[in-house]
Chain A
Amino acid sequence: NAGVTQTPKFRILKIGQSMTLQCTQDMNHNYMYWYRQDPGMGLKLIYYSVGAGITDKGEVPNGYNVSRSTTEDFPLRLELAAPSQTSVYFCASSPGLGLSDTQYFGPGTRLTVL
């Protein structure tokens, strides 16, 4: 089991460029999440999904889009990169077991927008 995998590990973008951060999980989890981590700020939820075809906004969704066409994949799209989107992005998944649900995190993507 690979768990949650993310690609790329690092990326530098110019302002206005677009890119897709990939996330795949092989645990057959229903729930998937995207977070961003800024220094000293903990993790902020960007978008989440409770199953294929269902997505919803988290705390900081502006500037991002997601899709969930399969159970395994949950890509995050940045359309017009801005310096404020420089951050470390983590994808997570969980089985969706209610209060005992546990989120498993990928290794992260470090994005710099110049």
Chain B
Amino acid sequence: GQQLNQSPQSMFIQEGEDVSMNCTSSSIFNTWLWYKQDPGEGPVLLIALYKAGELTSNGRLTAQFGITRKDSFLNISASIPSDVGIYFCAGRGAGGTSYGKLTFGQGTILTVHP
């Protein structure tokens, strides 16, 4: 099946620092999504990317859909304590039997020290 490798697995940063994380895939995706999960909650969608090379922002968050369609990046600028949580990338395949279904990365655990 499709594999997504997400890195880093965890990050410990100071408030105000910028954060970068990425996902790479063994196969091509048509859609890349970034989710955030707060403790005890389900994942919530942050950013969706639909075209290779696309760069999309949502407040302090910026994500990019890699040109090869096998990777994606998420950056968080000027981190604040409420950025704490687990960040997941997810990819949607090219269609056929994978249509609609997502493959998730392992998650990046972000800790922000005040």
B100 touches which one: A4, A42, A96 (CB < 8 A)? A96
B42 touches which one: A41, A100, A108 (CB < 8 A)? A108
Contact with B along A73-114 (1 / 0, CB 8 A): 000000000000000001010101011111111111000000
Q: Is the CB of B1 within 8 A of A102?
A: no
Classify the interface of chain B: helix, strand, loop or mixed.
Answer: loop
Chain B residue with the shortest CB-CB distance to A6:
B42
Q: Compute the total of residue contacts between A and B using a CB distance below 8 Å.
A: 58
Q: Which of B23-75 contact A (CB under 8 A)?
A: 30-31, 33, 40-45, 48, 50
A42-B107, A50-B100, A99-B31 given; A90·B42 CB < 8 A: yes
Chain B residue with the shortest CB-CB distance to A42:
B104
Tell me whether B77 is interfacial, beta carbon within 8 Å: no
Chain B residue with the shortest CB-CB distance to A110:
B40
In this complex, which of B4, B6, B99, B101 has the most chain A Cβ atoms within 10 angstroms of its Cβ?
Answer: B101
Tell me whether A19 is interfacial, beta carbon within 8 Å: no
Q: Is the CB of B45 within 8 A of A102?
A: yes
CB distance from A74 to the nearest CB of B (A): 14
Chain A residue with the shortest CB-CB distance to B109:
A40
Interface size on B, residues (CB 8 A): 25
Chain B residues closer than 8 Å to A45, beta-carbon distance: 101-102
Cα separation A102 to B42 with both chains bound (whole Å): 14
Chain B residue with the shortest CB-CB distance to A48:
B101
Q: Is the CB of B107 within 8 A of A31?
A: no
A40-B9, A42-B107, A45-B101 given; A92·B42 CB < 8 A: yes
Identify the B interface with A (CB < 8 A).
1, 4, 6, 9, 30-31, 33, 40-45, 48, 50, 88, 92, 99-102, 104-107
Identify the A interface with B (CB < 8 A).
4, 31, 33, 35, 40-45, 48, 50, 58-59, 90, 92, 94, 96, 98-108
